[in-house]
Amino acid sequence: MSGHSKWANIKNRKGKQDAAKGKVFTKMAKYIAVAAREGGSDPEMNAKLRDAVAKAKAANMPNDNIDRAIKKGAGELQGAVYEEITYEGYGPSGVAVIVQCLTDNKNRTAGDVRHAFDKNGGNLGTSGCVSFMFTKKGRIMIEKSDVIDEDELMMVALDAGAEDMETSDEGYEISTTPEDFAAVMDALRDNGIEVLSGEVAMIPSTETSLSEEDAKKMEKMLDMFDDNDDIQEVWHNWNEE
């Protein structure tokens, strides 16, 4: 994604999430529970949980929901046991796609992921077939507004451990290492800075453009992934400009 289209697509995704907050919170609760189960219930001692909580807060997930998910993962409350699985494959015209899932039924999820690829001109690949084209980074998007001073924002972000901040007509994009993502998010929140979106994402090193026909197939495939409760995140290198 690049330029204006990046912001338009992030706002569009956020709009969809706002319209289906219950579903989004359910997916985030799964992620938080798995992180707590694997590394403990203290976010200060569990980097994966700290990142999951930071992302949930960026999406305005209530603290009660976050605490309940942590307790489920720690075994203090009853809940299903989920397994994290990542699939890699190719969309229309060879677009690289990574699909991160949390599931209590691997066979069901694998079948659903394969079906979404096959139905839209893509195919499921082997582990590692596209991940080498991506780098794991924290990415925080902040819209421009009259109440945000660019120099002050940069100082807050860099002091908290951010690597870089890029400015465009639409707003500010802050990049971090995965390890510093939560600390930067906390610093922004403590300074009253509203975040449009924040996540530890897989950022592609190269992008692929699609024809109008293939773009429609790609959009349909992404919608199918988004509608699947087992699928947490989808990353790709489609240039949506």
Q: Tens-digit pLDDT profile for the chain (241 aa)?
A: 444 467 777 777 666 666 567 788 889 999 999 999 999 999 989 989 999 998 898 888 999 999 999 999 988 888 778 889 999 999 999 999 999 999 999 999 999 999 999 999 999 999 999 999 999 999 999 999 989 999 999 999 999 999 999 999 889 999 999 999 999 999 999 999 999 888 899 999 999 999 999 999 999 999 999 989 999 999 999 987 6
Where in the sequence is the domain holding 102, given as residue range(s)?
Answer: 83-125+206-236
Residue 41: which CATH number?
1.10.10.200
The pair of structure tokens assigned to 200 is 């530890």
Whether 109 is covered by a domain: the verdict is yes
Q: Both 119 and 214 in a single domain?
A: yes
Strands 134-143 and 231-236: what pairing? unpaired
Domain check: are 91 and 191 in the same one?
no
How much is the pLDDT for 18?
Answer: 62
Same domain? 144 vs 196: yes
We report the CATH number of the domain holding residue 197 as: 3.30.70.980
Helices 21-39 and 3-19, packing angle to 10 deg: 90
CB–CB of 72/78 below 8 Å? yes
Based on the domain organization, do 142 and 183 belong to the same domain?
yes
The predicted structure's pLDDT at residue 20: 63
Together in a domain, 56 and 98: no
- For position 17, what pLDDT does the model report? 62
Identify whether 241 is part of a domain: no
Residue 62 forms part of a structural domain = yes
In the chain, the number of structural domains is: 3
Per the structure block, which two tokens stand in for 152?
């002050």
Helices (H), the chain: 3-19, 21-39, 47-58, 63-73, 106-119, 150-159, 181-190, 212-227
In this structure, the answer to whether residues 175 and 220 fall within a common structural domain is: no
Sign of the torsion angle spanned by Cα atoms 62, 69, 221, 201: positive
What pLDDT does 1 receive? 40
- 163 and 212 share one domain: no
Predicted local confidence at residue 19, as pLDDT: 58
On whether both 189 and 223 belong to a single domain, the answer is no
Cβ atoms 164, 175 nearer than 8 A: yes
> Considering the domain boundaries, does residue 56 fall inside one?
yes
In this structure, is residue 78 part of a structural domain? no
- Are both 27 and 145 inside the same structural domain? no
Question: 215 and 107 in contact (C-beta within 8 Å)?
Answer: no
Same domain, 110 and 10: no
Q: Are residues 211 and 121 in the same domain?
A: yes
Q: Are 105 and 165 members of one domain?
A: no
